[in-house]
Structure 1
């Protein structure tokens, strides 16, 4: 018989878990019995939010973020997810993007991940084996016009986690990355689309329920160092066995 709360007694931290894929992962872990703290600029809302603890965190404020993450990571942590992302105002040629947008992408997408790893790894080792789950993107594999800053910072983040996976003893910490097979319906995406945009072909954050549960319950066993593509039906596969489909399109389209 399936245990509906296999993560009871587990502590989990989701950085960037108020909406989008991070929220889907936070909800899945909470539903499986974990004590989940979400760190984000906005408080989680809607169904399931009552099961989540919330701590305000702005990764563009580096000194404060470092201190807050260090405090939140005290004690054994069984699972940590980094899902924070700064897309930018919209797809545009590099020459049309402000330096501040680049700095914000770097601060959130890459430095924010570094700060989270630095704070969380000792506590994940204490839970041995702990899981560090990074939310990646197909752009880390494909690059593309009109999103150079986003592509560069996500590729750097992927390589950062690939490198940490090679450093860590998998009996203590397992590092896994997940990424969507297609576009995901989220407030961040909706803020960049016209009011009459049709989202019926977009994935939902709940597509990550099964993989998030599996990875947390097994602490990433069999998947250490992997990047897993997740489909809209919840199934997943290795990005190295079947490369993620590019979502490139001409700038301005």
Structure 2
């Protein structure tokens, strides 16, 4: 169990790449609320309630040189926890033959190369925390390939494989790598851009549903979860995807 202390992360420093909205924002808010110094690296500045607790650095992972420099600067000081939540989904669900090369390349640039750049920059600083924590935000698509999401699925599967491989390389006494993913669809600006104006989101998860697992992982530096993929549901509970697979969110797509 985590400490009942209201600020169990006081004195710790964390970075969330892609933390201005969505699941990354839920994790950033949870860490900041627990007392950590949290820096969000993203294209857009975090807004709304809780944003006053977050620092912000503009990082666009498609601008590789600038992103590498800013990640290096963030990693020049000690880091206790890093979360990678940046994602490029694409314009909409579409069949493979209806998706252009530009979309495919941006999925790779953000979802895979962006993760690679973040790991390369932050792992040395996390090792110094002894142990540090790296959290990757994954997706059910890595377990459930389906129609209309081929590029997204391929890039997210590559990201999972990258983190799985690095977890096998790293000494869990120095760095712990954990992946988290939602059990269902999450209400976020990216989702809302792809839905009709009158869409009902009442059955969707919220980014704040990740607060419990984020806090637990940061307080314990991921103890007991190194190399795992944790499925989080709308009640804030979680389980290992290797014990119970997440339900597929795929649906048929017309040509």
Question: TM bucket by the smaller chain?
Answer: over 0.9
Q: Which residue of 2 aligns with 1:221?
A: 223
Alpha-carbon RMSD: 1.0
Classify the secondary structure of the residue corresponding to 1:87. Answer: coil
Deviates more, 1:61-70 or 1:185-194: 61-70
Classify the secondary structure of the residue corresponding to 2:135. Answer: strand
Q: Which residue of 2 aligns with 1:44?
A: 46
Q: Which residue of 2 aligns with 1:16?
A: 18
**Equivalent-residue separation in structure 2 for 1:193 and 1:92 (angstroms):** 14
**Equivalent-residue separation in structure 2 for 1:165 and 1:252 (angstroms):** 39
**Equivalent-residue separation in structure 2 for 1:166 and 1:119 (angstroms):** 18
Q: Which residue of 1 aligns with 2:146?
A: 144
**Equivalent-residue separation in structure 2 for 1:140 and 1:69 (angstroms):** 26
CA-CA distance at 1:2 after TM superposition: 1.5
Alignment counterpart, residue 165 of structure 2, candidates 163, 167, 188: 163
Q: Which residue of 2 aligns with 1:173?
A: 175
Structure 1 unmatched ranges of 5 or more: none
**Equivalent-residue separation in structure 2 for 1:97 and 1:64 (angstroms):** 28
Alignment counterpart, residue 121 of structure 2, candidates 116, 119, 129: 119
**Equivalent-residue separation in structure 1 for 2:76 and 2:138 (angstroms):** 26
Residues paired across the two proteins, number? 253
Cα deviation per residue 1:111-164 (whole Å; 9 max; x = unaligned)? Answer: 000000000000000111000000000001111111100000000000100000
Structure 2 unmatched ranges of 5 or more: none
Is residue 99 from structure 1 mapped to residue 101 from structure 2 by the alignment? yes
**Equivalent-residue separation in structure 2 for 1:206 and 1:135 (angstroms):** 14
Q: Which residue of 2 aligns with 1:249?
A: 251
Contact 1:91 1:252 in 2 (8 A): no
Q: Which residue of 1 aligns with 2:207?
A: 205
CA-CA distance at 1:220 after TM superposition: 0.1
Classify the secondary structure of the residue corresponding to 1:142. Answer: coil
**Equivalent-residue separation in structure 1 for 2:230 and 2:194 (angstroms):** 26
TM-score with structure 2 setting the length: 0.98
**Equivalent-residue separation in structure 1 for 2:142 and 2:229 (angstroms):** 11
CA-CA distance at 1:64 after TM superposition: 1.1
Alignment counterpart, residue 2 of structure 1, candidates 1, 4, 11: 4
**Equivalent-residue separation in structure 1 for 2:180 and 2:244 (angstroms):** 14
**Equivalent-residue separation in structure 1 for 2:231 and 2:196 (angstroms):** 27
TM-score with structure 1 setting the length: 0.99
